[in-house]
């Protein structure tokens, strides 16, 4: 780890505070960088024009008792990693060869997007219960690093 990793991890923590997720501990932030420059950011929240869980006053996943790491499609939120990649696409910014920093290890759906977007390195803080994501990352040759506090 170097000083840049620490800086961008701190940015992830800041971006995660913008999350509209109502579940405790599920505020996720992501930052995509290249050559020590921030390209895009993302946080987990409802798509544009859709009310988020805080506005609705409930979490659909909690109501349905959906375990973490399963049935991602049953959630109003778009994941932070997805939002960061989508922002790059919307703005016409290439993330080929970039590094994605995230507060949480990406799930398998985000991992597939990361691989196809050409992101070559992922640095995260907290693990996530998705063994398939780890298998995909390894097979695709994407560097995956859990950030260690100093």
Query: 52 and 35 in contact (C-beta within 8 Å)?
Result: no
| Structure-block tokens of residue 31 | 């930052």
| C-alpha closest to that of 76 among 22, 28, 30 | 22
39 φ, ψ (degrees, to nearest 5): -95, -50
139 an active-site residue?
Answer: no
Q: Which of the following is catalytic: 10, 81, 131, 138?
A: 81
- CA–CA separation, 75 vs 73, rounded Å? 6
Query: 106 and 16 in contact (C-beta within 8 Å)?
Result: no
| C-alpha closest to that of 84 among 10, 15, 7, 5 | 15
Query: 21 and 27 in contact (C-beta within 8 Å)?
Result: yes
Which residues are designated catalytic? 81
């Amino acid at each position: 780890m170097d000083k840049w990793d620490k800086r961008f991890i701190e940015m992830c923590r800041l971006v995660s505070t913008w999350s509209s997720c109502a579940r405790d501990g599920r505020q996720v932030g992501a930052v995509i960088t290249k050559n020590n420059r921030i390209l895009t950011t993302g946080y987990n929240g409802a798509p544009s024009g859709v009310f988020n869980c805080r506005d609705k006053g409930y979490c659909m996943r909690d109501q349905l008792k959906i375990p973490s790491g399963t049935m991602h499609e049953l959630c109003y939120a778009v994941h932070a990693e997805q939002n960061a990649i989508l922002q790059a696409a919307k703005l016409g910014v290439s993330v080929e060869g970039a590094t994605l920093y995230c507060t949480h290890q990406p799930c398998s759906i985000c991992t597939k997007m990361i691989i196809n977007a050409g992101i070559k390195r992922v640095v995260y803080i907290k693990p996530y219960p998705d063994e398939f994501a780890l298998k995909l990352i390894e097979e695709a040759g994407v560097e995956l690093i859990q950030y260690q506090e100093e």
